[in-house]
Amino acid sequence: MARFISQDSVAAAATEIVKTAESAVDITGAWITGSALRLLLQSIRSKIEAGQLNLRIICRLHGLTDLDITDLGAIKEFEQFGAQVRFSRRLHAKMVLVDHKHGVVSSSNLTSAAGYVHQPESQNWTNFEAGVVLEPADQDLVADAAALFERIWDDSVPIDAQAVGVVIGEPITTQFDVIMVRPVKRSQYVVAECEGGPLLGKIDEIKTINVSFPTLERPAASQNSTGYNREPLPDLRSLFTGESKEQGFLKLTTFFDPAAAFNVATVRVLKQRVSDQLKMALVPTAPGGIVQQPTDDWLLSLQGEGELEIGRALNHESVPVHLKADEILRRHCAVYGMTGAGKSNGLKVLLRSLVSWLKHPSADGQAQPGNLRVIVIDTHGEYASSSKQIDPDARLVNVLVPEAIDLLDDVSIKEGLNLARADPTLKEKIWAVKERLEEDGSTADCAAVIDELKQVGATRGSTLDRLFRAFDRDPQKFALAPQPEITDASSGRAEDFEEPGLYILNLNKVHDITVRSESVGHVIDHVFERAKDSEGTFNSLIVIDEAQNFAPESGLDPVRSSLDAILRVAREGRKFGVGLIISSQRPANVNTGLRSQCNTHLIFRLVNANDLGAIADTVEAADRSLVSAMLPQLDIGTCFACGTAIESPFFAVVPLFGGAAPVAIEPQSDLLGAFRSVSIDRGPLDKSDRISAD
């Protein structure tokens, strides 16, 4: 018959009944400590390990305070032996049921304060407890208790292999906290249960909580001489005879082992999956909900369907990050990052992807691959040297900029004659003379223009006078509007980009900034004009590395030709099928008008405050935490990809160009190792038992 028990008899009765277990032990407890669990289950541990006995444990996980006492590490340890463990956010009942035929229902949690100690009679434990022992004869009562256990079991959640944690606290629609049971990293994606459809979120921050190092209420008062703000450790005796021995034990272990702690992650909600579609999340998840790793298809659908792989998702190595080719070709793209951050490498990877897509487009590919020329402006010759790896059919081109002094360009005259400043009136005179000669039907070459001007004469020492004398010395040095010439580097023949494919303009031997700018300006103008005349049949993509040199924010004079040409493409290229990719280590130094026309961004590591400011100003997806906390810390080769070519921003780890292809890494499976448990070197009994038994 059922009998009433109290105080230490509760723990003693439960332990005795468990000893008789043959097939099943079911335990519920709001709080469960490692020492109590070991004490209760010591006698049947080998049966559990041998798989002869089915052990089910339900404990409460509602808020962080539960973990001040409950020892997740110990529970996980039993899970490894074969126990099935579930967590409930509303559990309060305390039951130990054995073989579905007897057990104890009581007020006692599985803690030493409730009597789970080795020598209860000598302990000054404080809780008043009460309970009932159910005997095999109390069939109806046992059946009722067993039914309640099943109900709680069904309502509780398992931590299965995919689970990384449990929602705690007070979730809101945009954010929730998760107590982690497996290791996670900042910016990793997770999925949380939610009514109406699971929520996809991203870990914004992770904090480690150690009860020996609490947040300080009185920081100044708690400072000790060594400067640490650790809670003072009380003497050992009071630690284990106080009101809550479990907290004392936890304090002791975490004091001597600061790494023993648990992690709480803050997750930002991104989307909710409602019947296979990602929608805005309108309801929050609930505390106690299980948080899992997302499967790859979640992350792929978050990106949208791009064709150009640029790398793998950070923390999710099996998930490729894709950009939409069409958006890159039509809506302009910018690549930023400090020197050495991996921009050129990233561009090579992107170009290789693009070329291979052009050659093998998917069945539904929108672009007409047969009709795209990609022209790379290569300041340092780094694309030229890997051109064959990017595209075996790549062609190198040169631009020959005539060195002659252009009589129709005042800046050219200024530089050619070493004048202090350009003289626009001189240019006007020369234009007027040239036009008159043409109207008269005479030859309008340099000699004729200079002769005509000489008729009027020039004051000695004037600009005109200096021009006459320079011309007389070397007439060959002068020309009227000389045109640069684009040639194929291997054949030397004129190149007009008629053939689709990859072209690389190697400028590494061109040191003069004006000549470089003119070469680039000429190539871009040429492409733009052809595209304009072609009525959409001459699609092109112009790729400009080191864009700050060709389209700067200030110091425009020497680079006027490239700047004008680039800005024209930035503003009007879309209409005629001319796309732009620019790259720069100093976004703040790139022309603002150009920056604002770029709709897709790949941002590598950036630390300069001006550059970060430029990103915050022009990149829509760049919020404060990204700019201040993430961008300055990115590793080489990792970039933040955002904009119209990818539906949600992603961190991508770009492979080293020419290096081995990235290898997918197996998901972490070590449950216990991953959980930074508070357990330290425990045998069958833990330290609290040994210390308190001394």
Letters for 270-299 (x = contact with Mg ion by CB under 5 A, - = none) are ------------------------------
652 binds, among ligand ATP, Mg ion, none (CB under 5 to 8 A by kind): none
Residue with smaller CB distance to ligand ATP, 558 or 655: 655
Stretch that binds ligand ATP, among 50-58, 209-217, 562-570, 650-658 (CB under 6 A): 650-658
Site residue total, Mg ion (CB under 5 A): 2
- CA 345 to CA 383: how far, in whole Å? 9
β-strand partners of 312: 320, 653
Letters for 56-75 (x = contact with Mg ion by CB under 5 A, - = none) are --------------------
Min separation Cβ 605 and ligand ATP, Å: 9
Using CB atoms within 10 A of its CB, is residue 113 exposed (0-12), middle (13-18) or buried (19+)? Answer: buried
Q: Helix, strand, coil shares of the chain as percentages rounded to 5?
A: 40, 25, 40
Residue with smaller CB distance to Mg ion, 95 or 547: 547
List the interface residues with ligand ATP, window 336-355 (CB under 6 A): 337, 339-345
CB 156 within 8 A of CB 87: yes
Min separation Cβ 604 and Mg ion, Å: 10
94 binds, among ligand ATP, Mg ion, none (CB under 5 to 8 A by kind): none
Site residue total, ligand ATP (CB under 6 A): 14
Residue with smaller CB distance to ligand ATP, 73 or 637: 637
- CA 246 to CA 252: how far, in whole Å? 10
345 binds, among ligand ATP, Mg ion, none (CB under 5 to 8 A by kind): ligand ATP
Using CB atoms within 10 A of its CB, is residue 555 exposed (0-12), middle (13-18) or buried (19+)? Answer: exposed
654 binds, among Mg ion, ligand ATP, none (CB under 5 to 8 A by kind): ligand ATP
189-192/290-292 β-pairing: antiparallel
CB 232 within 8 A of CB 173: no
Min separation Cβ 210 and Mg ion, Å: 44
Min separation Cβ 14 and ligand ATP, Å: 58
Q: Residue with structure tokens 């999925």?
A: 191
- Half-sphere exposure at residue 109, Cβ-oriented, CA atoms within 13 angstroms: 21
Stretch that binds ligand ATP, among 22-30, 175-183, 454-462, 651-659 (CB under 6 A): 651-659
Min separation Cβ 545 and Mg ion, Å: 6
Q: Residue with structure tokens 């430029």?
A: 614
- Half-sphere exposure at residue 508, Cβ-oriented, CA atoms within 13 angstroms: 11
122 binds, among ligand ATP, Mg ion, none (CB under 5 to 8 A by kind): none
Among 24, 141, 148, 656, binds ligand ATP (CB under 6 A): 656
Q: Which residue is nearest to ligand ATP (CB)?
A: 637
Residue with smaller CB distance to Mg ion, 17 or 505: 505
List the interface residues with Mg ion, window 331-350 (CB under 5 A): 343-344
SS3 514: helix
Residue with smaller CB distance to ligand ATP, 89 or 348: 348
Structure tokens of 77? 């340890």
Q: Which residues, in sequence order, are CB contacts of 647 under 8 Å at separation 6+?
A: 302, 303, 304
Told to check if 109 binds ligand ATP by CB under 6 A, we report no
Letters for 116-155 (x = contact with Mg ion by CB under 5 A, - = none) are ----------------------------------------
- 240 to 66, 117, 183, 557: CA distances (angstroms): 19, 11, 32, 79
Identify which of 118, 121, 117, 56 has the alpha carbon closest to the alpha carbon of residue 82: 56
Min separation Cβ 345 and Mg ion, Å: 8
SS3 193: coil
Min separation Cβ 636 and ligand ATP, Å: 5
Torsion of CA 649, 303, 159, 675, to 10 degrees: -40
Identify which of 243, 174, 239, 181 has the alpha carbon closest to the alpha carbon of residue 202: 174
- CA 300 to CA 217: how far, in whole Å? 45
Helix axes 34-41, 72-81, angle to 10 degrees: 30
Letters for 580-619 (x = contact with ligand ATP by CB under 6 A, - = none) are -----x----------------------------------
Min separation Cβ 639 and Mg ion, Å: 13
- CA 563 to CA 547: how far, in whole Å? 9
Residue with smaller CB distance to ligand ATP, 322 or 434: 322
DSSP 8-state code for residue 665: P
Told to check if 654 binds ligand ATP by CB under 6 A, we report yes
562 binds, among Mg ion, ligand ATP, none (CB under 5 to 8 A by kind): none
Min separation Cβ 460 and ligand ATP, Å: 51
DSSP 140-157: HHHHHHHHHHHHHHHHSE
β-strand partners of 104: 96, 133
Q: Which residue is nearest to Mg ion (CB)?
A: 344
Torsion of CA 639, 642, 648, 649, to 10 degrees: 30
End-to-end CA distance of the chain: 38
340 binds, among Mg ion, ligand ATP, none (CB under 5 to 8 A by kind): ligand ATP
Structure tokens of 390? 């990017």
Stretch that binds ligand ATP, among 70-78, 468-476, 511-519, 648-656 (CB under 6 A): 648-656
DSSP 8-state code for residue 477: G
Using CB atoms within 10 A of its CB, is residue 459 exposed (0-12), middle (13-18) or buried (19+)? Answer: exposed
- Half-sphere exposure at residue 602, Cβ-oriented, CA atoms within 13 angstroms: 30
Residue with smaller CB distance to ligand ATP, 165 or 311: 311
Min separation Cβ 82 and ligand ATP, Å: 44
Min separation Cβ 551 and Mg ion, Å: 16
Among 637, 643, 686, 688, binds ligand ATP (CB under 6 A): 637
Letters for 544-583 (x = contact with ligand ATP by CB under 6 A, - = none) are ----------------------------------------
Q: Residues in the site for Mg ion, rule: CB under 5 A?
A: 343-344
Q: Residues in the site for ligand ATP, rule: CB under 6 A?
A: 337, 339-345, 585, 636-637, 654-656
